[in-house]
Amino acid sequence: MSIYVGNLSYQVTEDDIKGVFAEYGTVKRVVLPNDRETGRLRGFAFVDMNSDAEEAAAISALDGAEWMGRDLKVNKAKPREDRGSSGGNRGGYSGGGRGRY
């Protein structure tokens, strides 16, 4: 399971995030998604730590904390499949449109 870290500065780096989360345990991986169109950071990240206890400690300590001039939002990341079905609806609509011609 990953940790979601939101409301990040657009200047943050992977090393910045590793440094902060390393205070609570071993950081296995940091993912900083980029916007597909602009290439700019999207303002959030996912952090994988070594254990659930380390993740819980980091979430408890960092959720709501001010960092780089912003109040962080830190919680357990939700699985991808729980993010709604709007992508499937778009695909169904496009497919239906092509079938009519």
CATH number at residue 40: 3.30.70.330
Per-residue DSSP letter, 45 = E
| pLDDT tens per residue, range 17-58 | 999 999 999 999 999 999 999 999 999 999 999 999 999 999
Residue 86 lies in a domain: no
Q: Is residue 72 part of a domain?
A: yes
Percent of the chain with pLDDT over 90: 75
What is the total count of domains within the chain? 1
Return d(Cα 14, Cα 22) in angstroms, integer: 12
Q: How far apart are CA 46 and CA 49, in angstroms?
A: 10
How do strand 3-6 and strand 27-31 relate by DSSP bridges? unpaired
Domain containing 44 equals: 2-76
- The three-class DSSP label of residue 44 is strand
Q: Distance of CA 21 to CAs 1, 16, 79, Å?
A: 15, 9, 21
